[in-house]
DNA sequence: TCTCGACTAGAACGATCGTTACAGTCAAAC
DNA sequence: GTTTGACTGTAACGATCGTTCTAGTCGAGA
């Protein structure tokens, strides 16, 4: 026992859900596993989130907010237009340190595992894509001018490829390779 | 009824399995759905494949062989060293025409949906990765010399990113964007 | 002291799903 | 004509899982 008091049930549930869903898999994780890890009773989970899907959706929302914050910090630290564009990869490195057991991307995993996901879950995935699209187009502007949308597409594709590389286990250094590819794409504008 | 005779049960099962597993999702597709689509009884499925996982593994093996054949043809048609390296993207375009409903990549989807997959399924995924790695390193040789392995990594990453783009629904033209990114990566060597 | 809200433990339900068992059909081979 | 083997249709089993129900505990605030 540390000196830290036990968090309220809702927070413990979200922490356990993130850990289990995004490293062992959403469908592969029974609700009971989350309950046991969070030391929370079933009734409490359903009182807070309504369903397993509700818990998944909220865990994704939390994740998106944290990812956005980490990315923000990396953008601030960037020293050039190119560094700002490529800061997604620094953010990815920082973000992954917090949960090294994560298989790959929580949002793309959710899209694969829950093809019939409700509007709530689909909405978070759409918000993630929208965030990537909007920000990268903005950062691409000073580098590619009118063709900023194309360069943003290139960087998103390299970002997707980096995430999938964790899933495939190849290339061995996903972030390094992804950053190199994105830099090469930017150099072509 | 066409003039074509009914194929044997094994073939019908594999066709129905490919269609269902890789467009609607593996875990989301109950065995009964495949049985009904193939018009085959349960006993026959288990006599041929032993289990649902066995059917998944065999469907993946078939898919890998067909993918390899399509890729081969595209490589033959290529007119330059660069075209040979980028022929994966032509192959992807040709391969996807045969099953437009496919969500994205059968192998990466299997890795996501079945995190505890047995050796049989994991082996096919490893074979797919090995095929990509080996071939692209070979095609990268005349373009990048000693650094062929790095260029192959770049192209695999762009390929992964193209596949994931179908899942994300963005970028809107995955193959076009993927090819452009891979070409830019090659130009840097 | 009483109340209220958050939370718990545990059992149970209902649905889904992978898998097996059983009895029987049918066509081709010998 | 008989045998063989592939295949069928149906029912059922056993396990898992999401979800709900019931009864009850506990601590803080009025």
Contacts of A107 (CB under 8 A, 6+ apart): A60, A63, A64, A124, A125, A128, A129
How many angstroms away from the CA of B49 is the closest CA of chain A? Answer: 23
The radius of gyration computed from the CA coordinates of chain A, to the nearest angstrom, equals: 18
Nearest CB partner across the interface for B164, out of A25, A154, A164: A164
Q: Is the pLDDT of residue B137 over 70?
A: yes
User: What confidence tens digit (pLDDT) does each residue in B26-78 have?
Assistant: 999 999 999 999 999 999 999 999 999 999 999 999 999 999 999 999 999 99
CA-based nearest residue to A49, from A126, A122, A121 = A121
Contacts of A37 (CB under 8 A, 6+ apart): A16, A19, A20
**Chain B residues with beta carbon closer than 8 angstroms to that of A108:** 112, 164, 167-168
Is residue A115 within 8 Å of B21, Cβ to Cβ? Answer: no
What are the residues with a C-beta under 7 Å from any atom of nucleic chain C? A 8-10, 39-44, 47-48; B 29-32, 41-43, 46, 50-53
Whether A129 and B154 lie within 8 Å, measured CB to CB? no
How many angstroms away from the CA of B81 is the closest CA of chain A? Answer: 19
Whole-number pLDDT of residue B7? 82
pTM of the model: 0.94
User: What confidence tens digit (pLDDT) does each residue in A117-159 have?
Assistant: 999 999 999 999 999 999 999 999 999 999 999 999 999 999 9
Query: Could you write out the DSSP letters of every residue in A61-95?
Result: HHHHHHHHHHHHHHHHH--SHHHHHHHHHHHHHHH
Tracing tokens 């309950």 back to the chain, one arrives at: A35
Query: Which domains are present in chain B?
Result: 52-187 (1.10.357)
Whole-number pLDDT of residue A6? 67
- The mean pLDDT values, 10 residues at a time, for chain A of 189 residues are 62 97 98 97 98 98 98 98 98 96 97 95 97 98 98 98 98 98 98
User: What confidence tens digit (pLDDT) does each residue in B77-123 have?
Assistant: 999 999 999 999 999 999 999 999 999 999 999 999 999 999 999 99
């Amino acid at each position: 026992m540390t000196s830290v008091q036990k968090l309220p049930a809702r927070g413990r549930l979200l922490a356990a859900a993130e850990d289990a869903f995004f490293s062992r898999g959403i469908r592969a994780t029974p609700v009971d596993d989350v309950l046991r890890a969070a030391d929370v009773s079933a009734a409490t989970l359903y009182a807070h989130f309504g369903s397993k899907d509700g818990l998944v959706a909220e865990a994704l929302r939390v994740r998106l907010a944290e990812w956005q914050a980490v990315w923000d910090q990396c953008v601030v630290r960037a020293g050039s237009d190119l560094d700002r564009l490529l800061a997604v990869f620094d953010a990815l490195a920082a973000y992954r340190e917090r949960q090294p057991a994560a298989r790959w991307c929580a949002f793309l995993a959710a899209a694969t595992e829950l093809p019939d996901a409700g509007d709530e879950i689909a909405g978070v995935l759409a918000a993630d894509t929208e965030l990537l699209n909007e920000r990268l187009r903005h950062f691409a502007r000073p580098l590619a001018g009118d063709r900023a949308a194309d360069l943003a597409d290139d960087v998103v594709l390299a970002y997707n490829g980096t995430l999938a590389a964790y899933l495939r286990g190849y290339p061995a250094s996903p972030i390094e390779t992804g950053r190199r590819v994105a830099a090469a794409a930017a150099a072509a504008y």
